[in-house]
Amino acid sequence: MAEERRIRVLMAKPGLDGHDRGARVLTLGLRDEGMEVIYTGLRQTPDKIVEAAIQEDVDVVGLSCLSGAHRYLFPEVVEGLRERGAQDVMVIGGGIIAKEDIPFLKEKGIDAVFGPGTPVKEIANYIRENAKRK
């Protein structure tokens, strides 16, 4: 009997930013929403995040950044996934991200950005409705 489909999420903290509360809150929150969440820990380089996403075959890569380095780090991850042939993986981000950066990030292939105060439920619903892979 085929298993029902489980959404797999890689929750990653790129760069040197040490604010991990948001990533942890989201890791537990998405688990409670029925997803399998792989947490890779602090201070990941974009290429490490890409390799982990490939091996774990996740539906979604979640990037959390509160240090301001998202303009560089987020697009690197999208680019890496594309180079490795995994362009169908959804990439979303959150943390302290200025409104005016969002159009830039979307243009670089980040599917959505969620700021402080977003309820986990809203993020979970977005993932369920938009994860590209079947």
Partner 1 sequence: MEMVQKMLAGSDLSLARLITLVERDAPEVPEIMGSIYPHLGNAHFVGFTGPPGGGKSTLVDRLTAVMRRRGFSVGIVACDPTSPFSGGAVLGDRIRMQQHYLDKGVFIRSMATRGSRGGLPRAARGVIKLLDAFGRDFVLVETVGVGQTELDIMEAADTTVVVLVPEAGDTIQTMKAGLLEIADIFVVNKADREGADYLGMELEQMLRMSSRESSWQAPVLTTQAINDIGTEELYQEIERHREVLRDTGRLSLRRQEQRKGEFIETIEQGIRARLLELVERDGRLMASLERVEKGEVDPYSASMEILTNKTLLQGWLAELERER
Residues found near partner 1 in the complex (CB under 8 A): 1-3, 5-6, 27-28, 30-41, 47-48, 51-52, 54-57, 84-86
Pick 1 or 118: Cβ nearer ligand B12: 118
- Measured at the CA of 109, the angle between CA 104 and CA 115, to 5 degrees, comes to 60
Alpha helix positions (H), 1-110? 21-32, 46-56, 70-83, 102-107
Picked from ligand B12, partner 1, none, the partner binding residue 118 (CB below 5 to 8 A depending on kind) is: ligand B12
Cβ neighbours of residue 46 under 8 Å, at least 6 residues apart?
A: 14, 73, 76, 77, 80
Q: Which residues contribute to the site for ligand B12 (CB under 6 A)?
A: 17-23, 25-26, 62-64, 66-68, 92-96, 114-118, 123
Phi, psi of 39 (to 5 degrees): -105, 125
Picked from partner 1, ligand B12, none, the partner binding residue 3 (CB below 5 to 8 A depending on kind) is: partner 1
**Least distance (Å) from ligand B12 to the CB of residue 57?**
18
